[in-house]
Amino acid sequence: MTVEHVNECDQRNNRVTFCGERSAMPSAISVAGESNRLDLGSGGKLAGLQVTVKGSRNRLMIGDDCILNGRIIIKGDAQTVRIGARTSFQNVSVYSVEGCDVTIGEDCMFSKRIEIRTSDSHSIIDRATGLRLNRPGSVTIGDHVWIGLEAVVSKGVRVPDNSIVGAKSFVNKSFHEPYVLIAGAPAAIIRRNVDWDRRLLPVEPELALRQA
């Protein structure tokens, strides 16, 4: 099914629900499988988003007032990608595969060329046992998270609420403490007790001098 209209359901029970103007719909939606459901919120701009679903009983939920540009790929069965209200991203790739989910909270801001993935897409094998070592895992990103340019959020990771992920960071382990700045490859906490704002606020002169 290739979707061009709002509130569409095909013969295989794949349904897309979108509450908004046609011009704000994703630029491309491709669904192959059965009983998939895409619920796209109102008030946002999704015209730069490409959605691909290959499998059955999957669900994509996008909250209200989101501005999303990039691609969301779901391959497998019974997986969920959930993006909270007022989240924005530019040229971001989200991969939900191998039975794992991706959850992104509300009021998140992601920069360009970011990847969020539940799998490495290829296998790392123990030569002694022949077993695969790199297991897939669901990804959870909390509310009010800012992720910088070209960061990668890897499989099985949790990023806490009210946190910042620095540019080009590789996040390959979970963090649970809120109000932290995470950066590096691999990522680590480099500062605590910080928050962020979409507005570019003025710098207090005394504070700027102390930090110089």
pLDDT digits (tens, 9 = 90+) for 48-72: 999 999 999 999 999 999 999 999 9
| Band (3; pLDDT cuts 50, 70, 90) | very low
> Would you call 122 a catalytic residue per the annotation?
yes
Q: Residue 39: is its pLDDT beyond 60?
A: yes
Question: Could you tell me the residue ranges of all domains in the chain?
Answer: 8-119+126-211
| Band (87; pLDDT cuts 50, 70, 90) | very high
DSSP notation for 53-102: EESSS-EEEE-TT-EEEEEEEEESSS-EEEE-TT-EEEEEEEEEETT--E
Architecture, CATH, for domain 8-119+126-211 = 3 Solenoid (2.160)
DSSP3 helix / strand / coil % (the chain, rounded to 5): 5, 40, 55
Give residue for tokens 């013969």. 11
| Band (47; pLDDT cuts 50, 70, 90) | confident
pLDDT at 6: 54
Residue 39 is classified by DSSP as: E
Express as a percent the part of the chain with pLDDT over 90.
77
Q: What are phi and psi of 211, to 5 degrees?
A: -85, -10
The reply to whether omega before 186 is within 30° of 0 (cis) is yes
pLDDT at 25: 78
| Band (206; pLDDT cuts 50, 70, 90) | low
Q: Once rounded to an integer, what is the mean pLDDT over residues 148-173?
A: 98
- Residues 21 and 6: their CA atoms lie apart, in Å, by 9
pTM value? 0.90
- From the candidates 5, 122, 144, 176, give the one annotated as an active-site residue: 122
pLDDT in tens, 121-137: 999 999 999 999 999 99
| Band (31; pLDDT cuts 50, 70, 90) | very high
Give residue for tokens 């994703």. 26
Contact 77, 57 (CB under 8 A): yes
CA nearest neighbour of 83 among 109, 111, 102, 56:
102
Q: Which residues contact 111 (CB under 8 A, 6 or more apart)?
A: 89, 90, 147, 148, 149, 150, 151, 167
Average pLDDT value over all residues in the chain: 92
Neighbours of 82 (CB within 10 A): 17
